[in-house]
Structure 1
Amino acid sequence: MKQVKIAGQQVPAMGIGTWHMGERPAQRETEIAAIQAGISAGARVVDTAEMYGSGKSENLVGEALKPFKREDIFLISKVLPENASQRRMEASLDASLQRLRTDYLDLYLYHWRGSVPLSETVAELQRLQTTGKIRSWGVSNFDIADLQELWALPGGDQAVANEDLYHLGSRGLDYAVLPWQRDHDLPLIAYSPIAQGDSWGHHLTTTPIVQQIAQAHHATIYQVLLAWVVRHPQVLAIPQTSSVAHMEQNIAAADLTLSATELAALDQQFPAPTSKQPLDIL
């Protein structure tokens, strides 16, 4: 299974996203079973946020992780921009830890930029790391200019990851962000790596070349899309599903390697940008 090194730890390149999970009581047991199936299939990274369902996702994740050893899980959550200040961040983190039933996060991400000065947010993230409540910190929804600004700040280069939207139909990161992150040894966490099942009109699942590659590998279309995302050595994908079967297929996609010919065919159908693109955000 492909691995990514993040915050000094080697983890499988396929993790578990939890956006939209925990919001429907009738789905709770199904969603818990899916998360647990993903971990049992080899996933270590579980990604959530205080924003997701206003804490309901964190609560669900906390329950789902109970059967597992805490040290076997790489747990990520995120702080909202309005809570990313020196005055509010620690209380926000404490609430996340309580919902997650843990006393530390492996990685705490600044969810997206708001009105709090970035220098203040970075200083508070650095301070919280010294308390042991977070083992490392990073950012999310940062574009190239944001990353460059971050790196110029005291302690800014201590960020261990950036989480952005990235999939075959949204390749803006290929122009500047991914090359910059590779040069600075900053892993990418790719959210919505299968374009939310084509709900945004990218037609990835109905494109003949994607279907042909899936058939050649006896894989699902979604596995091909995920394998494409993690073709880079320092990219971690966090697909979300409430289905046990789909979860197991997602995790197995980390073992699928696309050939140079297949990657070239996908590039032809979904070309990388030749100029700077606006950062895609959901």
Structure 2
Amino acid sequence: MKEITFNHRKSSIIGMGTWRLGEGDLLETQKEIAILKYGLHHGVNVIDTAEMYGEGKAEKAVGTAIKGFDRDSFQIISKFYPYHATPELIKDSLEKSLKRLQTDYLDVYLLHWRGNTPLAETVQGLEAVKKAGLIKSWGVSNFNTDDLKELAAVPDGENCQVNEDLYNLTSRGVEYSVLPYQKEHGIDFVGYSPFGSDNNEFLKLKNELGDVAAQKHISIFELLLAWCVRNNDVLTIPKTSSTDHFVSNLKAIDIDFTPDELELIDKIYPKPTKEEPLDTI
């Protein structure tokens, strides 16, 4: 399996997304937990979740799934609401997340998106829980380059380790300045929703893409995932609803593209040529 360095550790190049997990009936939740376990057993060692996902239900499902696994063998990312971004509320949210996840610490804790709390206050709160050993690193989500620069200017803002943004073939805005900025400043990038989430309704799939996939004898979804990790510098976090899909995802990360194929894909979905508002889900 392809690996990258993420949060100063060797990591699988894909993680496991958990949006909507734990929100169905008991049977559905047990199936989701089994898939998370399957991923951990097969070398996928990053799980991405948030207090927002099912108002804690996804974190509870993750907490059940990770029982019996060596906690040092995988990383958990979770996120807190922007209206929990003061030092006091960060600590409170974190403690609740840790309880649901049945773990003593998070590997990465992210501000889910920008709110009204000054970034300096949020960083102060994150540094405090990091110093207390409750998290290893912290970061942000849904930040653009201007947001990242503003963050870097506050005390300890340079300690941001991760930014997580929407990134897939139909949402390439981060390529213009976010990815170069993060690479320059040593901030790891996590791309969420490589398949567009929610039954792929956020993807604008074109017929020509199906032709490329057919020529490579792969599925469109394998193409989409392989494209996201083509440069070996992005951690992408697909949500997986079945073991079959998981097997397909594992196969996809080993797919390579020729320069001609990448050029053709760029013609179908052009890379950004200027700064533009980032897509979000």
Same fold (TM over 0.5): yes
Q: Which amino acid is the alignment partner of residue 17 of structure 2?
A: G
Helix, strand or coil at the partner of 2:33:
helix
Give the equivalent residue in structure 1 for 2:9: 9
Give the equivalent residue in structure 2 for 1:268: 267
What is the CA-CA distance between 1:213 and the residue it aligns to?
3.6
Unaligned runs of 5+ in 2: none
Counterpart Cα distance in 1 of 2:4 and 2:40 = 16
Counterpart Cα distance in 2 of 1:253 and 1:160 = 27
Give the equivalent residue in structure 2 for 1:236: 235
Bigger relative contact order, structure 1 or 2 (CA pairs below 8 A, ≥6 apart): 1
TM-score, normalised to structure 1, is 0.95
What is the CA-CA distance between 1:161 and the residue it aligns to?
0.9
Give the equivalent residue in structure 2 for 1:107: 108
Give the equivalent residue in structure 2 for 1:202: 204
What is the CA-CA distance between 1:201 and the residue it aligns to?
4.8
- Please, which moves more after superposition, 213-222 or 228-237? 213-222
Counterpart Cα distance in 1 of 2:250 and 2:81 = 28
What is the CA-CA distance between 1:234 and the residue it aligns to?
2.1
Q: Which amino acid is the alignment partner of residue 109 of structure 1?
A: L
Give the equivalent residue in structure 2 for 1:47: 48
Counterpart Cα distance in 2 of 1:144 and 1:101 = 35
Unaligned runs of 5+ in 1: none
Helix, strand or coil at the partner of 1:138:
strand
Counterpart Cα distance in 1 of 2:241 and 2:232 = 27
TM-score, normalised to structure 2, is 0.95
Contact 1:38-1:251 at 8 Å conserved across structures: no
Counterpart Cα distance in 1 of 2:63 and 2:138 = 20
Contact 2:19-2:239 at 8 Å conserved across structures: yes
Q: How does 1:75-224 map to 2 (within 5 A)?
A: 75-196=76-197, 197-203=199-205, 207-208=207-208, 210-224=209-223
Give the equivalent residue in structure 2 for 1:255: 254
Helix, strand or coil at the partner of 1:46:
strand
Contact 2:170-2:203 at 8 Å conserved across structures: no
Q: Which amino acid is the alignment partner of residue 270 of structure 2?
A: P
The C-alpha deviation readout for 1:247-275, integer Å capped at 9, x for no partner, is 22213322222221111110010001212
Contact 1:12-1:254 at 8 Å conserved across structures: no
Counterpart Cα distance in 1 of 2:49 and 2:110 = 10
What is the CA-CA distance between 1:60 and the residue it aligns to?
0.4
